[in-house]
Amino acid sequence: MLYLTLFICFISSILLTPLVKKLAFVVGATDKPNKRKVHQRIMPRLGGLAIFFSFIIGFLIMQPDNKFAWPIVLGSIIIIITGVLDDIIELSAKYKLAGQLLAAAVVVIYGDVKVVSINLPFDGMLHFGFLSIPITILWIVGITNAINLIDGLDGLAAGVSSICLITVSGVAIMMNDPFVVTMGVITLGSTLGFLLYNFHPAKIFMGDTGALFLGYIISVLSLLGFKGVTVISFILPIIVLGVPISDTFFAIVRRIVKKQPLSAPDKSHLHHCLIRVGYSHRQTVLIIYAMSAVFGLAAIILSKVDMWASVLVIGILLITIEIIVEKIGLVHQSYRPILNMVRGMRKNA
């Protein structure tokens, strides 16, 4: 039944996306080219509605019997309304944040989705107590915005989100968590159907409607899906979402280094940097897909290995990320501590 529902969500998204495209032009939800944008013509940007409606179709077919189910749906409706309004009238940052906080609060308070504790090395555990609610809300809002920030090239956010959903669903299968598997699969089918129209050259953008929805769903499912994992549990969802989280983290570092406001837009995100060093639009998207797949594979490995192997894998990932950041100038062209150290060692050898 689950695989049939995945197929139904996939087909529903394929059928609904052209209708949403027409609606976007009617209501004025379009994206005009500017110096920060890669596209060169006016594009409809309400595509996330097709993903959401397909997700709801899958949800109603499966009707998952779980206390988290309806709070997640209610929160997703709030996030969709926020995204739709932003795609049509471009909400100010404070109103967008208010919508995200409300959606997160619904699933945390009404649905009781909380990061109560995290597993520490050598069988230790850290309990958050009264901080569990604000920490969980911060996680949901942070990941929601991370997916939104990476939505800068045709098919990028949809593809990266699909890889994250595959990873979360895969771990949930290993952990025997049918609810997370169900929610992950129906979201995946809905996203892949839309991706057929969104991959380069895109016919429609998902807009904030889609990016916020996918970020919200992934953030919640990643918390639920990794609850039973015993190796530094909070690290695993961070690794699954390694690409959008890394891009967001270094965007913050970049703005601090340049003494810019944290909310200041720029054209130095991961995808911008890869294009700047010579990769084509399509190549850049595929490279970031590959990066996401590596992070996903690493998370699956970490869910199965012991502490010392986990430390080794995480160490390799961090060094790899730093080298990529330095090579493509993600922080600044002159920021190259490791590469300069290696160059110095070669000169002295």
340 is annotated as contributing to ligand binding: no
DSSP 194-233: HHHHHSSSPS---HHHHHHHHHHHHHHHHHHHTTT--SST
The angle subtended at Cα 91 by Cα 87 and Cα 97, nearest 5°, is: 110
What is the helix (H) or strand (E) element at residue 347, kind and residue range?
A: helix 337-348
> Looking up tokens 């200041």, which residue turns up?
264
CA–CA separation, 81 and 255 (whole Å): 30
Query: Taken in order 10, 16, 22, 28, is the CA torsion positive or negative?
Result: negative
- CB-based contact 96:86 (threshold 8 Å): yes
CA–CA separation, 221 and 225 (whole Å): 6
User: What are the structure tokens assigned to 128, written together?
Assistant: 């958050």
Task: At 125, give phi and psi (nearest 5°).
Answer: -150, 135
What residues are paired with 120 via a beta bridge?
A: 124
Q: End-to-end CA distance of the chain: give it in Å, rounded.
A: 63
User: What are the structure tokens assigned to 222, written together?
Assistant: 């990643």
CA–CA separation, 131 and 173 (whole Å): 30
DSSP 26-67: HHT-EE---TT-S--S-EE--THHHHHHHHHHHHHHH----T
Cis omega (within 30 of 0) on the bond before 18? Answer: no
User: What are the structure tokens assigned to 318, written together?
Assistant: 């961090």
Give the number of other Cβ atoms within 10 Å of residue 94's Cβ: 7
Task: At 19, give phi and psi (nearest 5°).
Answer: -70, -40
Binding residues: 148, 208
Binding residues for Mg(2+): 148, 208
